[in-house]
Structure 1
């Protein structure tokens, strides 16, 4: 249900909340790219990554929803990255806890079977419902043993967080097809460049 010309958002981080964090590409790099700029982009993310669409009579996604989604993303990133860099639970300030709990408590989307037999999720407030799903997933992740398997991509520009489901737990790249291949190509170029003498 992607709209023509819409962004194809990156998925495959292993958890919905980690995919949501990836809507800010190259975090902290000079070439940082914001993928959630407009209501249409937030709606496209909801459709692509959550299979969530507006229900009949739903309110439109507005720019303030986009701003709230980006705020939520950064709060969630701080929570997950803070836990990633330490061991055990990290104290969460009361204001942050209140926001996280409020986002998680919003009504989630409800299932809807379409005429073609496909399952979609619908909500009257798509932005609020999607933030509910993302916040619930992040809160579950940060308080579960799975958090020990969250890694930061070793790509020099990437830094995306992903869930390492590999058996040995030694995965280094958010995507072997993207960051992993870039690193392999870079290493191969370095090996084939003759040493100057």
Structure 2
């Protein structure tokens, strides 16, 4: 089996698996928008980095690494998740195509937990990509169905970011998807503006 690069490269920390998956379209809605899932290797890396720690490496199932059709389906699922979350945030409901896409993606088996001989919690899945994307779809369905969580979904205040995140802070006033990246940049920019004035 061909070795898959496990170097972390995808952003996490949006508060839910489905929101982290939506972030694979980086800088959504900005001129710098970037596709982070251009091919099967990238999709397999996302599954490895962001899904549960699977014993079955992504791409090890029959048929090898995810193909172009699976990548297109994953990107379509990502856009359905985004549309579903946006509809929930605006008090609307997703259209029938979005609902069908989410329901279909949520149907496959999810990774199964088990205890290893050493007593460690491990996960396995016959089709790791399908199993983790099923988790993504189920997470999005549950998230959008909970009004208390929907009320805590915010867009990052950085104008060039476009990420949606779940604000789990006590006061619910978090402004940035990441204090280390977007928040830090905004504070440095504000400091430069005050200093130059």
Compute the TM-score of the two structures, normalised by the length of structure 2.
0.87
The structure 1 residue matched to 2:135, chosen from 117, 133, 136, is 133
1:1-197 correspondence to structure 2 within 5 Å = 3-4=4-5, 6-53=7-54, 55=56, 58-59=61-62, 60=64, 61-84=66-89, 86-87=90-91, 90-113=92-115, 118-144=120-146, 145-194=148-197
1:69–1:28 distance in 2 versus 1, CA, 3 Å: same
C-alpha deviations, 1:147-186, integer Å up to 9, x for none?
A: 1111110011012011101111100000000000000011
Distance 2:6 2:108 in 1: 30
C-alpha deviations, 1:107-153, integer Å up to 9, x for none?
A: 11122555665534222222211110000000000001211111110
Instruction: State the SS of the aligned residue for 1:182.
Output: helix
1:114–1:35 distance in 2 versus 1, CA, 3 Å: farther
Compute the TM-score of the two structures, normalised by the length of structure 1.
0.87
Instruction: State the SS of the aligned residue for 1:100.
Output: helix
Q: Is the 8 A contact 2:87 2:93 kept in 1?
A: no
Give the aligned length: 190
Runs of at least 5 residues in structure 2 that lack an aligned partner in the other structure: none
Distance 1:132 1:5 in 2: 21
Task: Please say which of residues 105-114 and 2-11 is displaced more in the overlay.
Answer: 2-11
